[in-house]
Amino acid sequence: MALEFRQEIIPDALKEELAFDGYLSLFDLGLPLIPATILEPMKREAGLAHFEALKKVEAAFAPDTLSELIKVSRRLPLLESLLPHFEGAALQQFHLFELNRFLTVTAELTALEAVLPTAEETHGALDGLRRVLTDHTERGGAALKTDEATAWVKAKLEGVEKKLHLEILAHEKAVEEAIGLRMIYPFPREIQGEGPILEKARTCALLRVTETGETFRVDHHPGETLAVLSAEKETLTRELEGCTATLLAGINAALVPFFEAFFTNYEERKKRCHLYTLVFVKQQEGFAFPEFETGCRLSLTGGLSFALSRKKGKANVPLTINLDQGANVLYGANMSGKTTVLKTLYFLLTAIRTGLPVPAEAITLHYPESVQLLLKSSGDMGKDLSSFGEELHFFSREPEEGAFILADELFLSTDPVNGAELSRIFIDNYGERPLIFFCTTHYPKVLEMKTPHLFRMLDVAFADGEGKAVDLSNLASLMPYRLEKITSENAAKAAHSNRKPLELALCFPLPESIKQSIREQIDTPYPTGRDSK
């Protein structure tokens, strides 16, 4: 099953960065019945029903049974091209074979699904279909059972074909002996220029030569017996086709009353294959299904960004966080992982609202019907928007109740004084709404606010137990990429004494003159007052 997101759900660059395609590839288990599924964000009611169905499947079947259901489902044929013929009573013989194969495999699945059966009202219809196919076909639907008239025509045709075959062999042998050239009846040959073969062909009663410009076309000129047998074969073939059409019409007439019930079962079977796939991958990969609650809250334990977990493996640090209704603010130095936190949440929320299990130990939240993400940007020339204008444009949309709004480096696009003031205004505004607003910031002034729920990214330690300094080669591996919830008083105090950005800068191969200036600044007390906003 190849899963794809509907176009424009995720920006292309973000889709690639967060490795959504790689994540979706986990669900491609090779089930022909669902070769491709387009994922769309689900509304709350549909989303809740979807995950409830997934949990019922997981509760009903042991992992071994689920694995067997996947294995058997791989043998289900795709019948999309067959269905219009079925509905229109125009099934051909090869269709009957595929239909019989579907019914046979479905019977195996039904036996495995005893504790959680599909729609009961369709089972009688499937039994009726099997009876019709058993009565009218043989060899698993590969051949039609014939009546007396059809059997006579078929036997007569077989006899004529045997005689014709022998006559053709005799004709071809006679031609080869006459002109010394092998010719397959009834196909002509072309001969370039004059020569002994052409001369012999002109005098052979079994051939006819026609000049076609630069070449000569040599056609078969069969004797009366071959011509009579060929004509008889054509007549009997048409007669057999008529008999077969009559048989197929009878079978179609017997099958078509079951179409609606079969179609219902077919669609249900596709849904089951989809559910089985999601539960199977969830169990194999150690993913989680979300737990939903009312109100506005998110509690995440051990959440992973698929891109980072694939790149870093066990070195990737899972995200654990609790977000409450209203405004939530994350403060931290550069390279501490603030943007990664937002992108991880966006990845998980997007997966959930499209019905997928997520790479996490556990996640409890209200249903994420609306998810919005604002990342740092250099603007949009096509819309005549600067980075500041694009940020304001993002916030011009009235958010839905229960929305998740994720904003990175709130109002970093303008000067620090006005950026801090705008941040305060927006955080205050969203703090009063029934939604979850989660933003990151560099502005210490924002941390002095009393209303938001505050978090801080933990800083990297610049010396280990042995006193070894951090440098660029091991900087990324030593970043904790963890956060903690703090009070506004503690956050403001930490911000006014935080010199981590300057210390981080020393890890890079900057000119020594610049490094010396940075070292001198580190030893200078952190500025206070208006400049610290």
Domain co-membership, 97 together with 234: no
The angle formed by the CA atoms of residues 508, 512 and 517, to the nearest 5 degrees, is 95
Q: Which has more confidence, 502 or 90?
A: 90
pTM: 0.79
Domain co-membership, 337 together with 298: yes
Domain co-membership, 241 together with 277: no
* Element spanning 250, H or E: helix 224-255
Domain co-membership, 67 together with 203: no
Residue 249 · residue 85 · CB < 8 Å: no
Domain co-membership, 237 together with 272: no
Separation of alpha carbons 331 and 446, rounded Å: 9
Domain co-membership, 437 together with 517: yes
* Domain boundaries, position 124: 42-144+251-285
Q: Tell the residue number behind the tokens 């995950």, with chain if given.
A: 51
Residue 488 · residue 447 · CB < 8 Å: yes
What letter does residue 397 receive in the DSSP assignment?
A: S
What is the per-residue pLDDT for 411? 83
What is the per-residue pLDDT for 392? 82
Prior bond to 434 cis, omega within 30? no
Q: Tell the residue number behind the tokens 């190849």, with chain if given.
A: 2
Domain co-membership, 279 together with 162: no
Domain co-membership, 330 together with 238: no
CATH code assigned at 480: 3.40.50.300
* Mean pLDDT value of segment 25-34: 94
What letter does residue 92 receive in the DSSP assignment?
A: -
Residue 18 pLDDT exceeds 50: yes
Separation of alpha carbons 296 and 501, rounded Å: 34
Structural domains of the chain, count: 3
Q: Is 6 left (phi over 0), alpha (psi -120 to 50) or beta?
A: beta
Does 94 map to a domain?
yes
Does 25 map to a domain?
no
- Strands of the 436-441 sheet, one edge to the other: 371-374, 404-407, 436-441, 326-331, 453-457, 483-486
Say how far residue 65 (Cα) sits from the centre of its chain.
24
Give the residue from 456, 448, 422, 460 showing the smallest Cα distance to 331. Answer: 456
Give the residue from 15, 55, 105 showing the smallest Cα distance to 351. Answer: 15
CATH code assigned at 108: 1.10.1420
Separation of alpha carbons 277 and 270, rounded Å: 11
What pLDDT, in 10s, does the model give residues 127-159? Answer: 999 999 999 988 888 888 888 888 899 899 999
Between the two ends of the chain, the Cα-to-Cα distance in Å is: 52
Domain co-membership, 191 together with 51: no
* Mean pLDDT value of segment 93-113: 94
Residue 481 pLDDT exceeds 70: no
On the CB side of 136, how many CA atoms lie within 13 Å of its CA? 22
Does 4 map to a domain?
no
Q: How far is CA 46 from CA 42, 119, 368, in A?
A: 6, 19, 12
* Mean pLDDT value of segment 522-526: 67
What pLDDT, in 10s, does the model give residues 308-364? Answer: 888 877 777 889 999 999 999 988 766 678 888 999 999 999 999 999 999 999 999
Residue 491 pLDDT exceeds 80: no
Q: Mean pLDDT across the chain, nearest whole number? A: 86
Does 1 map to a domain?
no
pLDDT band of 533, cuts 50, 70, 90:
very low
Does 12 map to a domain?
no
At 363, which amino acid appears? I
Angle of helix 259-285 relative to helix 63-73, nearest 10 degrees? Answer: 130
Domain co-membership, 327 together with 350: yes
Count CB-CB contacts under 10 A for residue 25.
11
What pLDDT, in 10s, does the model give residues 180-189? Answer: 989 999 999 9
H-only helix segments in 61-147 = 63-73, 83-87, 93-112, 123-136
Q: Is 415 exposed, middle or buried (0-12, 13-18, 19+ CB in 10 A)?
A: exposed
Count CB-CB contacts under 10 A for residue 427.
22
Residue 265 · residue 119 · CB < 8 Å: yes
Separation of alpha carbons 114 and 61, rounded Å: 10
Does 209 map to a domain?
yes
Does 109 map to a domain?
yes
The angle formed by the CA atoms of residues 270, 288 and 11, to the nearest 5 degrees, is 75
Separation of alpha carbons 135 and 144, rounded Å: 9
pLDDT band of 381, cuts 50, 70, 90:
very low
Separation of alpha carbons 160 and 213, rounded Å: 39
Q: Which has more confidence, 267 or 529?
A: 267
Question: What percent of the chain shows pLDDT beyond 90?
Answer: 55
Domain co-membership, 445 together with 464: yes
Domain co-membership, 323 together with 235: no
Angle of helix 63-73 relative to helix 93-112, nearest 10 degrees? Answer: 180
